[in-house]
Structure 1
Amino acid sequence: MGNQIQNTPQVRLIGTLYVFVIILAGFSQGYVREGIFVEGDVFNTSENILENEGLFRLGLMTDLLAFLLDAIISVLLYLLFKPYGKTLALISSSLRLLAHPAIGTLNLLNHYLALHVLKSETLSLSFNQDQIASLSHLFMDVHSYGYLIAGAFFGIHCLLLGVQLFQSGVFPKFLGMLMFFAGLGYLVETFGDFTFPGNEVLFSWIVGISAALGEVTLAFYFLIKGSKIKSVTA
């Protein structure tokens, strides 16, 4: 039997979930942590965490929810692109699962511990407040490094997703190109921050612009055009 054309309503679902992930993760990383964490300032960071405890906890929960949704997106993307190359689709989706649902979720422990040590009565018996504030700041630092490590996995996923979009013949090729460059942006930030310290702001701008162009465009294209897209299956 030849190839058969069928509707793919899961494309719109992927787009919907992806928009939620962007909003939730953007809130936790771009608003909560960026607003609370002060690079190199132990005491202001600890004060910000304690004074905004509710917001800090909310940032953890929105991140966790985003990662749970990302696990669903990973499976849906595999099912969507499986007809165009099972192995490539499996590798790509596996890397996405490892990036945020796995590494990113475990990394949230560092986010939580930054608050936990500041409120721990047990630690207050053994360490002074300056030492506890430094420990909290360290956990925030470790969280940022964990985010970078997850970004390496996610960057390769975006590269492969760009290839799948480009080769499928179903989606506009510019989507594949944008996602490919988004993947490069994530890899530049991860390997750049670890290899060339002192240029974090530059690398952050690179990934911010490339990811916004790639992921936001893809999410809204799937959301808006999803019900009209046709998929080829054997």
Structure 2
Amino acid sequence: MNTTVQNKPAFIAGISLLIMTIAAAFSYGYVHSSLIVSGDPLTTLKNIQASRSLFELGILGWLVIIVTDLLVSWAFYVFLKPLHREYSLLAGWIRLLYTAILATAVTHLVVVSKIIREDATLFSGSLDTLSSQVLLSVISFESIWSLGLIIFGGHLMVVGWIALRARQIPNIIGILLVASGFSYMLVHLLYGFLPQFDGVASILETILSIPMMVGELGFGLWLLIKGRKLTTLD
């Protein structure tokens, strides 16, 4: 594989991952965290009504994440294909499945935006009922996305396994990817299927947040700095 062919997927994957990280920090880390109050539908409704433009910018950020996820699916497959074509293809399809689930989740935020834009009387005439509808849609977004992150964790573990086979990719990158994938799967399996352990899952998520973030982002930075300069990958 010549350097031009290798450069393109590495560059696209690296840039897409950086853009995705910034968009996620904005849409989830800032917008979602500041406007959504768990268990308090009325405050959540008032927050979104008071910051409707910010909420809609958050949705735009999620759309950016969906597009960059699609680009990363393709770029990872092309870049890693010389190492193991079948597993690279598997990793690509798993990420596409995750992206489809994320897109489904985001539609519930679009529903919230539509509810806020419309006259409240169209939806039942009761402020309490309206706020409950809004929070229900937000919870649907969170639940569907959480299930998707289990699949995303599987994707990272496959990518990490492939990376560990590469002579040119530092072992620490592969180890971090596998650790990140395992962390995503563990935390969101607890959230999704063992709600009685939500407290444990929340603690684990806090503890594992660094490896969960560093794994893929570290690979993205390596792709931009070193990966795109490779002429072969074996």
The TM-score with structure 1 as length reference comes to: 0.91
Separation of aligned partners in 2, 1:104 and 1:39: 20
Amino acid at match of 1:178: L
Separation of aligned partners in 1, 2:110 and 2:199: 27
CA separation of 1:60/1:86 partners in 2, compared to 1, >3 Å: closer, same or farther?
A: same
* Conserved 8 A contact 2:120-2:127: no
Amino acid at match of 1:134: S
Separation of aligned partners in 1, 2:231 and 2:178: 22
Amino acid at match of 2:64: L
1:125 shift after superposition: 5.8
Matches within 5 A, 1:174-193: 174-193=172-191
Separation of aligned partners in 2, 1:81 and 1:26: 27
Q: Which residue of 1 aligns with 2:216?
A: 215
* Residue 81, structure 1, aligned to residue 80, structure 2: yes
Amino acid at match of 1:58: L
User: Residue 38 of structure 2: SS of its match in structure 1?
Assistant: coil
User: Residue 199 of structure 2: SS of its match in structure 1?
Assistant: coil
1:9 shift after superposition: 0.5
Separation of aligned partners in 2, 1:219 and 1:19: 7
CA separation of 1:125/1:85 partners in 2, compared to 1, >3 Å: closer, same or farther?
A: closer
1:19 shift after superposition: 0.5
The TM-score with structure 2 as length reference comes to: 0.91
Deviations 1:105-152 (A, max 9, x none): 121111121232233337546341111101101111111111111101
**CA RMSD, aligned part only?**
1.7
Q: Which residue of 2 aligns with 1:154?
A: 152
Aligned length: 228
User: Residue 20 of structure 2: SS of its match in structure 1?
Assistant: helix
Q: Which residue of 2 aligns with 1:18?
A: 17
CA separation of 1:25/1:125 partners in 2, compared to 1, >3 Å: closer, same or farther?
A: closer
Amino acid at match of 2:2: Q
CA separation of 1:165/1:123 partners in 2, compared to 1, >3 Å: closer, same or farther?
A: farther
Q: Which residue of 2 aligns with 1:225?
A: 226
Q: Which residue of 1 aligns with 2:42?
A: 43
Separation of aligned partners in 1, 2:2 and 2:178: 27
Instruction: Pick the aligned partner of 2:109 from 93, 108, 111.
Output: 111
**Farther-moved stretch of structure 1 (193-202 vs 10-19):** 193-202
Amino acid at match of 1:142: S
* Conserved 8 A contact 1:182-1:213: yes
Separation of aligned partners in 1, 2:180 and 2:145: 16
Separation of aligned partners in 1, 2:61 and 2:208: 21
Separation of aligned partners in 1, 2:123 and 2:182: 47
5+ unaligned residues in a row in structure 2: which ranges?
none
Counting aligned pairs with the same residue, the percent is: 24
Separation of aligned partners in 1, 2:82 and 2:76: 11
Separation of aligned partners in 2, 1:142 and 1:219: 30
CA separation of 1:27/1:122 partners in 2, compared to 1, >3 Å: closer, same or farther?
A: closer
* Conserved 8 A contact 1:78-1:89: yes
Amino acid at match of 2:198: P
